[in-house]
Chain A
């Protein structure tokens, strides 16, 4: 009996050895073939953006940005592409030396304009060209600090923003905005697009156009008589005071429509120019102690009748933007987050009915653009396996047509990915996305990199796995090297309703952390994740979550904290955006010191054993470097293996292609070091 048992055991060991050997062999074979998706691939692909669509739906204007590395330096340039949506014929403007940006149709789509600037000298010209028969004509040189122009729909004038960089002072006074000053100007042109007279400054020298990244701060009314604009009061930036006004262009008069300490985005005129729709950001109001929780200050959609001043307000729950009004003036259309999907919504103003335009195989829609007459739509759509592609359609006969931009050749369907849901400690349902290692065989237990998004009011969607998600981790790169990736829409994320996104109120690092750990346990239970090969990383709030996690468990073999917060008390005074902290904590630390202290990863540094790499942009204003330094000093002091890499010219979002590549490589190097 005893003998038989030991024989079995021996066989067992041999079998095991053989298994190991074969694994090693296949691993070697895998290493010899190039990985499916490398950090270099992440930045090599051009990024497309839709700029305008003609009112007849026949033409699309697109911006394409190229990033490449030459001799260790990153080279970036942009092209404008005019596409005939029927013949798919393309006209490309711009090259490595001269970038083309901001292409728009004018003069009822007969012509289009764009800016060409020299990539070295930034010398810029504004060009106009015929849409049908391309015959380029330069209309004028423009200052290189012109950052945004739009022609009036009647094409008789154009508005533009000039940006003045502040001079470097010998002494800089804290609290005075260091922003570049932005002023709005108007230039009249004749029928040949020659300038008539000097440009006229529309905003006074005291007023500064709001600098909202990725969002235009002014818009023409369809009747060309008005401009709606968002301005920002100068001075102390804590109560960032934004103002939305409508300018009567002929009379030069301003009328303030609304003010907020949050932000205004997606300002859109109704087709008759009589109404304005916009999203009003969370307005915290005057500082009170303790501050109202987030749920009382959520964003709203506002629709204001400019004649009567009558305003209607709707919840903007999980709504990303308003792309425009429908031609009948009855609905507004835009993008809404629904779980891990981004959908086109239409909202009927009268009935408050919200419906979606469902699209097969395109879970993520963005960059929705209406034609001037509101009848045609262009947008970008993507899924796990294919990067963003351009689609155009009539709004009424909704039937999107794919316009191939070159990205269709990319197919990462060798990598499986899926959304999945699990229950957290308190029964709350949490959704996440699992990206399997390349060529995953069912039943394999694999190393898992849990990657945590920032925000916390942000979300992971079912987008292309070959992009950097949250600017910090690329699931396809991890998959190519045998890692699975789990991203988690922990409580506080958007896309699941206001109640869910407020569940983290005064609870940072508690519930959200358990949501993440429950997801990991779920994958272990499912037999996918190897419990002895767990890794964690995250950027910004995700970096905080990473630092928090290693202070609360030793289950992770290694961690990479990227632009994360380690000490909320110092952070709140140093970040350029303290208001969200005030809202999340329900006040500042002097109102509740213990809450801030207990939420700070540094308070748990005594328990940290996990080797932790720290990545940080040296120019980060959102999460300044002291957060990384404090974490590093603590880990060093506790003799925990650590390294802090400071990217010299990098701000909060790791956008420099060199940094994208290097940070991914460093991350992999760190995880590989602690992988079995």
Chain B
């Protein structure tokens, strides 16, 4: 699940950056300290792909960029395309494309001669190419009123399938016809491509607009014969997209859409086997989910299943341990599929046999992966990996034997890895689960000191890779490195509901928010206090999204914490379900709409017991967040302020569900640190040499 989200991060960046292009703020004296310098030097590998001839690599680097002038400061996350030519040889050299604007989806043409990519540009996103060895950009396709969202070269390279968006029509100059979850609409076009990369002969493949299920994944692909497109889409009814998606096939000739698989569930990422016989897809439409009234793709058990394109016979492959796989590609002989999934805190790559039984884990080490892809000959996998000590790096490995080699190194870090990571294990209070979590603390020379502890509660669908490098800037304002540097120890408990521990664990908080998962966190903290050097008088709690809900819940359960920080947290579930643009999560976990069960909804709101709140609370929200509006924070701010509980609420300009302006993320980090320092009364120990 997390794996998937991170991969989607590449797509998400497009829209994030669009909104931040005009983010400008008043000039502020900004002289970054070492940590901030490191955060600004963040570089993720968001994509790494071998050329069809296996000689070169195309990479997409994602990094923050701050523009400063005496008058103003603005910033954004940027993508930069780079090519590592002859990556495996001594002649290897990297060419970074000096693109202007926001780029995405770099890839190879089938003859390995060109790198193609989408560039947002000034008006509409268009398709560009450049030779890999030298940046010589050339626009090859631009549509008049639409953005090019995604594209796929046909297997013979003579055709191009392009997904474009349809501008929304619910808005006039004075009013918006509001709706919840009005789907973004798209159409697919097919073009001819000649030897000189000239694009012509536009065919509309989807006469009717199409929409995708919430979980976009990999939406469309060519069949190996280049005659058809397979597509995952959500049928439209009265302008609304069905919550169940389906797999369809559209022959280029007839443009007549044929449904391959559909049912009571999500069907995503259709991939046709190299022999053309099967289509594989990821689905939660499984017998074991039928009983489950929740039906939330991200939480359900999901599997890779395969349908025979002739007989329409369907069979499902082995389950990954976490039951939330994401497909990477078919193996060479059409006999197996490669997938990724999370296991504990780490991501792994697995090979699933078509016989439906065997599962082989390829990766051994504990890493978070941001992307993985299979080469054209289906015998090599490239991926990017990172962990708490190592920034994002690129790897290539043959499939058999799986022996990954580092091919892209991280930039040198400004930080010394002067912290210790321990995996902590404890038993849940109700004895149902063995729980684990990460305990990260600064290396210290002082013998008898105990650490102030910040416990970190991630969102339900986290934007952060669980093992992301501590010195990286993120899309949300949290930095392990900055907090470790200050002398805080960090605890990241995998409370029930967390991903990576299978379906039972993921679903454990349904109709049960804030009960056992709260206990899981508290027993974990107790365990740390007992076993480790943690100062029980200096406890703080940080939570984002659902983690923010749990933090608000903690506010009314206990006054053990000296400070709370709620980032984009749900506070009032009734108001949240009524305002969010993504109601599916709350709908699912609450089980019933509130009008069917007022009591439970009321009980699950910390506002119902707000008089017991005592702990100083910082609220941090993006001004334009639409999944969890800042109004949720205000609903906690007002009672706390009125009741005299120390509280501060900060809304960050132009920021949405994730923080798209790195310089504002840095401001938010400072706010977080100040709040903790103030309310934990904590003076950092003697400064170390690199803290200047």
Contact = CB atoms under 8 A, between A and B. Distances in A.
Interface in B587-640: 593-596, 598, 602, 607-608, 610-611, 619, 623, 629, 631, 633-639
Interface string B145-179: 00000000000000000000000000101111111
Contacts of A569: 572, 574-575, 607
B577 A633 contact: yes
A287 B641 CA distance: 12
B420 interface: no
Given A573-B638, A626-B579, A634-B578, A172 B178 contact: no
Nearest to A643: B177
B260 interface: no
Interface in A550-578: 566-567, 569-570, 572-574, 578
A626 B595 CA distance: 18
Nearest to B587: A637
Contact of B629 (A572, A626, A648): A626
B652 A170 contact: yes
Contact of B178 (A174, A175, A597, A632): A632
A42 B177 CA distance: 24
A602 B574 contact: yes
B86 interface: no
A606 to B, nearest CB: 5
Contacts of B653: 168-172
A596 to B, nearest CB: 10
Interface string B427-450: 000000000000000000000000
A626 B631 contact: yes
B375 interface: no
Contacts of A248: none
A630 B583 CA distance: 12
Contacts of A637: 593, 595
A567 B575 contact: yes
Contacts of B89: none
Residue in A570, A572, A593 with the greatest tally of chain B CB atoms within 10 Å: A570
A475 to B, nearest CB: 24
B555 interface: no
A175 B649 contact: yes
B574 A567 contact: yes
Interface stretch (A82-90, A333-341, A534-542, A654-662): A654-662
B77 to A, nearest CB: 16
Contacts of B180: 632-633, 636
A18 interface: no
Interface string B371-395: 0000000000000000000000000
Given A573-B635, A633-B583, A172 B651 contact: yes
B231 interface: no
A597 B637 contact: no
B579 A629 contact: yes
A459 B503 CA distance: 59
Contact of A236 (B171, B177, B641, B671): B641
Contact of B26 (A167, A236, A597): A167
Assign chain B's interface to a size class. Answer: 35 or more
B176 A648 contact: yes
A171 B650 contact: yes
Nearest to A170: B25
A327 interface: no
B572 A570 contact: yes
Interface in B465-489: none
Interface in A636-657: 636-638, 643-650, 656
A618 interface: yes
Contact of B174 (A172, A606, A644, A648): A648
Contact of B175 (A173, A624, A648): A648
Interface in A615-634: 618, 624, 626, 628-634
Contacts of B414: none
A623 to B, nearest CB: 12
B521 interface: no
Nearest to A238: B642
A102 to B, nearest CB: 29
A573 B641 CA distance: 10
Given A589-B607, A597-B602, A637-B593, A171 B652 contact: yes
Residue in A171, A569, A573, A636 with the greatest tally of chain B CB atoms within 10 Å: A573
Contacts, number: 149
Contact of A630 (B175, B575, B619, B633): B575
B651 A645 contact: no
Contacts of B671: 171
A237 to B, nearest CB: 10
B667 interface: yes
B177 A645 contact: yes
Given A168-B25, A171-B668, A644-B178, A630 B649 contact: no
A605 interface: yes
Given A170-B653, A174-B650, A645-B176, A573 B578 contact: no
B664 interface: yes
A588 interface: yes
Interface in A335-388: none
Contacts of A633: 180, 577-579, 583
B177 to A, nearest CB: 6
Given A570-B631, A647-B174, A648-B176, A174 B583 contact: no
B88 to A, nearest CB: 46
Contacts of A169: 25-26, 653
B175 A174 contact: no
A662 B650 contact: no
A570 B178 contact: no
A127 B178 CA distance: 47
B503 to A, nearest CB: 27
A175 B631 CA distance: 13
A72 B174 CA distance: 10
A588 B639 contact: yes
Residue in B173, B178, B583, B619 with the greatest tally of chain A CB atoms within 10 Å: B178
Residue in A170, A593, A618, A643 with the greatest tally of chain B CB atoms within 10 Å: A170
A172 B641 CA distance: 16
Contacts of B175: 645-648, 659, 662
Nearest to A628: B178
A72 to B, nearest CB: 6
B648 interface: yes
A656 B174 contact: yes
A593 B608 contact: yes
Contact of B574 (A167, A570, A573, A624): A570
Given A170-B664, A569-B607, A637-B595, A574 B650 contact: no
Contacts of A648: 171, 173-176
A626 B25 CA distance: 28
A601 to B, nearest CB: 12
Given A567-B575, A567-B578, A630-B575, A590 B643 contact: yes
Contacts of A590: 607, 610-611, 639, 643
A606 B596 CA distance: 8
Contacts of B619: 174
A615 B343 CA distance: 49
A659 B593 CA distance: 34
Contacts of A168: 25-26, 653
Interface string A582-621: 0000001110010001000011011000000000001000
Given A170-B664, A174-B649, A629-B578, 14 more contacts: A72-B173, A168-B653, A171-B652, A238-B638, A566-B578, A567-B578, A569-B575, A570-B575, A574-B631, A590-B643, A605-B595, A633-B180, A636-B180, A645-B176
9 contacts: A72-B173, A171-B671, A173-B649, A238-B642, A567-B575, A573-B634, A578-B638, A630-B575, A648-B171
**Top 4 A-B pairs, shortest CB-CB distance:** A630-B578, A573-B638, A174-B649, A570-B575
Interface of A: 72, 167-175, 236, 238, 287, 566-567, 569-570, 572-574, 578, 588-590, 593, 597, 602-603, 605-606, 618, 624, 626, 628-634, 636-638, 643-650, 656, 658-659, 662
